[in-house]
A = this chain, B = another copy of it.
């Protein structure tokens, strides 16, 4: 009698969006699917990123066979440097995903010491007891895979992030046949992306944005600033093709946009005709109607190219009256304030701003499947057990119900981070919990080592130090209304308050009135300067929390 069981243990992403990370264990073999980060909510002052607590993996270090990545988005790969610093294991991913990972590890000086293994759709590989088959899926990013994993007890399929794009830009189709074959042979469990479970119908193909974007190119008389997620390789490809068609040269700005388009070009995902892309410095040789600027910053990130251009603080990206700024992206919930601040600045520059407010036509499509796609895949795979992944608790619950209503599964099981789900061929049951949580990381804007400040329950704040900073700014005039308040704790006596206050005030003085009306910019600039100064003068790297009092 088989008494061994497969354990499914989510460490992040089940009960929240972001920092996806899930462990599968069979006896003494553990594999990890994805190693993501999440961006902190605004409540988490002074923290840049959040990664999952992987104590469970660290405690079982000798059993972890490797990390397998489904695709290259930050919420699936962004936690790698911190996780690999505690866990030396090989990383498996497709070519494009590995290119992103390499950049990330190089930045943290960890590339040489990490074993990276390229995988291919339909090419099975072994990891401990597990046989793993990557299956091609479509998403907003290229080279994405689902994973069919075979422990001795049956097949478990993890979809990763996906939509079912039946006319993909790169002609690499979603591999419906392989899912169908697994479904025919029998699948024990399907773990499926819940992101868009609240939306009925189908997500439109990436192709669906072309007509409206084409029309915008036609109607734009001056410079066109095209902004999208820098990982949206398909969207970048569409933008470049439209620029060529409409006789515009392309200048690429913003670090992430430059890096991402270089990787995509190197790997053949972008085929850029010679002469199409110019250096930003060459823009002066062309008339406005001959130029498109591909620029990052759709979410109003304070230091992004677009945010800086919006307050006229970008060397090359000069937005003039009559220019068009197109945000080919969605407003990620929580980012409204910063995005609309940027948009207001753009209006003040008298730019024509086009963003996804429901009235500008289809200028963006989601990378995640809606209800019909979720149902379709469940129908193809026909798993015994259905386990929703990636979402707030309500998404998981709704997804479980959607799956049950298809009538093709035995049962839906809602688990959350830390739950241990045990499966054999017949039964599934929750059995215990492992320790999970969020690790807050203050990486600083120009940090390049993994020794970033990590705050967790094991350390107390007074050990690392804490600097609270209160700045009062008139948000209409940008005037600083009184000297900054600096409250420093935990420096073992070193009094940096006066020095810090002077630095904050002089940093604020370097900003234009318009920049000072933008919280995001103020917070980030002050934080970076203060961090640099404190590190230099005390050797400490405290947590710095800027608080803006808007007057």
Contact = CB atoms under 8 A, between A and B. Distances in A.
Interface stretch (A302-310, A432-440, A533-541): A432-440
A113 interface: no
A45 B547 contact: yes
Contact of A440 (B40, B45, B461, B551): B551
A260 to B, nearest CB: 28
Interface in A512-551: 519, 545, 547-551
Interface stretch (A225-233, A332-340, A445-453): A332-340
Interface stretch (A134-142, A342-350, A498-506): A342-350
Interface string A387-413: 000001110010000000000000000
Nearest to A489: B487
A548 B337 CA distance: 20
Contacts of A256: none
Interface string A450-464: 000001110011100
Contacts of A397: 347
A357 interface: yes
B43 A392 contact: no
A485 B489 contact: yes
How many copies of this protein are present in the complex?
2
A476 B358 contact: no
A90 to B, nearest CB: 30
A438 B473 CA distance: 10
Nearest to A344: B393
Contacts of A165: none
Q: How many A residues are at the interface, by size bracket?
A: 35 or more
A470 to B, nearest CB: 7
A333 B333 CA distance: 8
A171 interface: no
B485 A466 contact: yes
A394 B343 contact: yes
A343 B41 CA distance: 17
Contacts of A42: 42-43
Contacts of A462: 485
A347 B416 CA distance: 13
Contacts of A15: 344, 476
Contacts of A436: 476
B199 A43 contact: no
A399 to B, nearest CB: 12
A470 B485 CA distance: 17
A41 B549 CA distance: 11
Q: Which 3 A-B pairs have the closest CB atoms?
A: A457-B481, A344-B393, A333-B336
